A and B are shown apart, each in its own frame.
Chain A
Amino acid sequence: MTMDSSRLSRRGFLGMGLAAGVITLTACGSDNDKASSDGNATAANLVMTVWGGESDKTAYQKRIDLLVKKFPELKVTLQLIPNDGYAQKVQTMIAGGKGPDIMQVAESVNVYSSKNQIQPLDELASKAGIDLEKRFGSIGKLYSYQDKVYAIPDRSGAMIVFYNKTLFAAKGIEAPSADWTWDDALAAFKELTVPGKQWGYAGSGWWAQWWSFVYQNGGKIIDDSGKPAVATDEVIEALQWAGDLIFKHGVVPTQKQYADMGADVGGDAAFANGKVAINTTGFWGISGLTKSKIDWDVAPLWKGKQQAVTAFGSGLAVSRTAKNPAAALKAIDFLTSPEAQQQIIATDQDVPANIEVQKSEAFLKPAWMTKPVNMNVFGESSGFVYRAPFIPQWNEMQKAFDDGLADFWLGKQDARTALTAIQKRLETIVKPA
């Protein structure tokens, strides 16, 4: 017995030593990588991680092929990671001491930048002669943290309005436009609603939707000093308006009504089967609808006191452990150039972030489009995009909204009560830098 326990404890001790050793090794291991890096300035083997499915792989690979053709000294290995596992895989890679050289980032970009896991790119970009504002317009510095740019925009499209042309024509309503006010929108929703059967609007329960209204109303989720500001009158009024559409006016389906339409049916599916007349969503709605039976078109989002709309997209960042940051940036520079960005259109993947490409004929009349659709909305909307607060605690903030608004979206709580509670919770989560 005694012999046994002493043996075990010795092994235990060894194990502890191993674990501790492993952690220290990682901590310095990564630095060693960096130290031994800045050798060859031109040639580089780059690992690039992106998320998505099989079609995204095609789109990215085509762009990389163009890159390698033009700059044979750059070798880029694409690692496609399924959406659900992306953050975890990248986290493990970095924790293991070696992140990807180039990584796709989006709303949670500042998880990495605030922890110095990706590099500030201002200097490299200006050295390479990239004018972010000129190339990408208002979203040029979207992925910034403490006034430094950490990722170059790659894909970016504003949220747009999808409307059912048949239902609109039947009621003699004109197409939605950027000039619609909240009241115009509400009036149209009401016209287009047949209680229990058809709804005017798909709703705005998703942050990208109701935040647009918040910013239209002059509110902010995080104020300029970096503090949460969701219990302000502007935010409360906007959220209440969104909630009233469901419970006061009945022009948006309730969660129960959605659940009865099918599993995971949200605005996109409800719009595609003609149950709602207006839906606000991203570019992906278009490719989903090209084969649909309904007659539809797109328009820019309406406005409140001012124009504001959420944009969806992603950028490309250079990791701290990249051996050759200059080469990585050179690759990103090319990947976001008009030549490479054309492929995003050709493969029907997304909206290219490059303004010039967004305005090109290829984008306005894509080869795969089966009917005339007002693709100009993306260009038109790009000026209205507000800068969403991509704080380092983005995921926690979203969880706070999900939890705190659960009762609100069921009609059991008003916006002021819900948001006051959320504000309290956010104050413990968000610590201004």
Chain B
Amino acid sequence: MATALSTATPARERSTSKERVVGVFRASPFTYATLIVVSAVLCVPLVFVVSIALSSDQTVNANTFTILPREFHWDNFTRVFGTDLPMQRFLLNSMIISAGAVIGQVLSSGLVGYAFARLRAPGKNALFIIVLATMMIPAQITMIPQFILFKELGWVNTYLPLIVPNFFSNAFNVFLVRQFVSRLPSEIDEAAMVDGLGFFGIYRRIMLPMLAPVLIAIGIFTLTATWGDFMGPLIYLNDESKMPLALGVQYITSTSAALQAPPWNLVMVGSILLTLPMILVYYLGQRYLYEMDISGGSAGVK
């Protein structure tokens, strides 16, 4: 239905059908103008990224880049794949780690967030403060104790430290789901309760479908964070064959001496390679994020 709306012509909008666009949702030329200007401003740096990615080594050494590409050294892209580094393997590892992390977060976050939003229990508020408090400790400071812990578990040089913690949700996602659930009318689950559905039944049959957008959002956030993270893999992985793409890109862009300028064109190629899949995921995923009919089942609300 929503897709139909997006292609609606102004003539159709004026029709009296129930799919009529409400006034506030109508896009004026001013809306378009603003969106175009904002997108253009946000895009300038990205065009710059592409321009640098396509420039020659000479341009890199002299650092004479231009916003619009003047040179087109597409071979920079093949160069990245032409190294000794097992890029395909890196890509596969990235996918394994990200998929594991996403599955873990999506499975656990909805459950925990729902509990914090809806179920009543003694000590819940205190526990919620602890949830929030865990976010207020900078991750950098628990890194070494955490490493020691994973080492004692024998998990160093495996994917486990990068994946397993995700199956226990995290504060951000718990809080996010809680806020989302708290917006939903409570009559729904009360009615279901009367119908004899247990708490798990309510969660699975009623909450889960309505939480789909926020769980997808969590999936996207987890995916982008895991995909781009190189500090975690750097600390926990030793074998090259286990490393993800984000770390592989670090190898391409690292230099031999500390003060040597990095090969900026390859840095940007790496950035593009890392970004592109995420752009695709977001572009294709937004359908499920924003355009799903999530209000179905909510009492009387279309």
Contacts and interface: CB of A to CB of B under 8 A. Distances in A.
Q: Do A and B bind each other?
A: yes
Interface of A: 1, 3-5, 8, 18-19, 22-23, 25-26, 47, 51-58, 79-85, 88-89, 91-92, 95-97, 106, 206, 208, 261-266, 268-270, 272-274, 281-284, 288-289, 291-293, 312, 349-350
Contacts of A5: 123, 126
Contacts of A23: 145, 148
16 contacts: A8-B126, A22-B149, A23-B148, A80-B240, A82-B251, A83-B258, A84-B254, A85-B250, A92-B147, A106-B258, A263-B63, A265-B63, A266-B261, A269-B63, A291-B57, A292-B58
B280 interface: no
B84 A88 contact: no
A273 B254 contact: no
Contacts of B148: 22-23, 25-26, 95-97
Contacts of B251: 53-54, 57, 80, 82
Lowest 5 A-B CB distances belong to which pairs? A4-B123, A273-B62, A53-B254, A269-B63, A82-B250
Contacts of A293: 58
Given A19-B145, A83-B258, A266-B261, 6 more contacts: A1-B123, A8-B123, A25-B152, A53-B251, A53-B252, A83-B255
Interface stretch (B33-41, B187-195, B230-238): B230-238
B126 A82 contact: no
A375 B197 CA distance: 82
Given A54-B252, A263-B63, A85 B123 contact: no
A97 B147 CA distance: 10
A22 B63 contact: no
Interface string B79-96: 000011100000000000
Given A53-B253, A55-B256, A92 B84 contact: no
B247 interface: yes
Given A81-B234, A269-B61, A292-B61, A51 B254 contact: yes
Contact of A52 (B83, B123, B234, B256): B256
A164 to B, nearest CB: 12
Contact of A53 (B65, B240, B256): B256
Nearest to B140: A88
B234 A89 contact: yes
Interface of B: 57-58, 61-65, 83-85, 121-123, 126-127, 143-145, 147-149, 151-152, 156, 230-231, 234-235, 238, 240, 247, 250-261
Nearest to B58: A291
Given A53-B251, A82-B247, A95 B62 contact: no
A1 B62 contact: no
Given A3-B122, A292-B61, A264 B261 contact: yes
B84 A269 contact: no
A424 to B, nearest CB: 28
B142 to A, nearest CB: 10
B257 A284 contact: yes
A347 B236 CA distance: 30
A273 B234 contact: no
B144 A95 contact: yes
B144 A92 contact: yes
B145 A84 contact: no
Nearest to B258: A83
A273 B56 CA distance: 13
B64 A350 contact: no
A399 B253 CA distance: 25
B255 A52 contact: yes
A208 B260 CA distance: 13
B234 A288 contact: no
Nearest to A47: B238
Given A1-B122, A54-B251, A206-B259, A92 B65 contact: no
A25 B255 CA distance: 37
A289 B255 contact: no
Contacts of B235: 88-89, 92
A96 B58 contact: no
A196 B290 CA distance: 54
A291 B61 contact: yes
A5 B254 CA distance: 50
Contacts of B247: 82
Contacts of A54: 83-85, 251-252, 254
